[in-house]
Amino acid sequence: EVQLVESGGGLVQPGRSLKLSCAASGFTFSNYYMAWVRQAPKKGLEWVATISTSGSRTYYPDSVKGRFTISRDNAKSSLYLQMNSLKSEDTATYYCARQDRGGYFDYWGQGVMVTVSS
């Protein structure tokens, strides 16, 4: 059974940093692209980052490019999201997702809440 378990969320002040983690199990982690998707309270979904199987290629939307960094450790079956210079608009539930080679997200974690507030 595919499982994705996020951790590392919490309350952080604007301008500070936070690192999210996602522990994967139930599939060969190194064979899949992985991604982060977020959802602001009562809002829709926003893709945040994608990383290739080896980690050599990363992709971001303009809203987080230069502030967020996605990375992975295939030996540990783990995905990470380093978030710097956080803004109030980054407040959201962050989901770790497995990305099928086609580009859609076929498995999602339960999500972790990040609140950016002073």
Partner 1 sequence: DIRMTQSPASLSASLGETVNIECLASEDIYSDLAWYQQKPGKSPQLLIYNANSLQNGVPSRFSGSGSGTQYSLKINSLQSEDVATYFCQQYNNYRTFGGGTKLELK
Residues 27, 46, 52, 53: which binds partner 1 (CB under 8 A)? 46
What does each C-alpha distance from 102 to 61, 80, 98 come to in angstroms? 18, 22, 11
Collapsing DSSP to helix, strand or coil, 84 comes out as: coil
Q: Is 113 in the site for partner 1 (CB under 8 A)?
A: no
Size of the residue set binding partner 1 (CB under 8 A): 22
Residues 27, 55, 59, 71: which binds partner 1 (CB under 8 A)? 59
Q: To 5 degrees, how large is the angle CA 106–CA 82–CA 22? A: 40
CA 112, 115, 116, 118 torsion-angle sign? negative
Residues 18, 29, 34, 50: which binds partner 1 (CB under 8 A)? 50
Binding site for partner 1 (CB under 8 A): 35, 37, 44-47, 50, 59, 61-62, 95, 100, 102-111
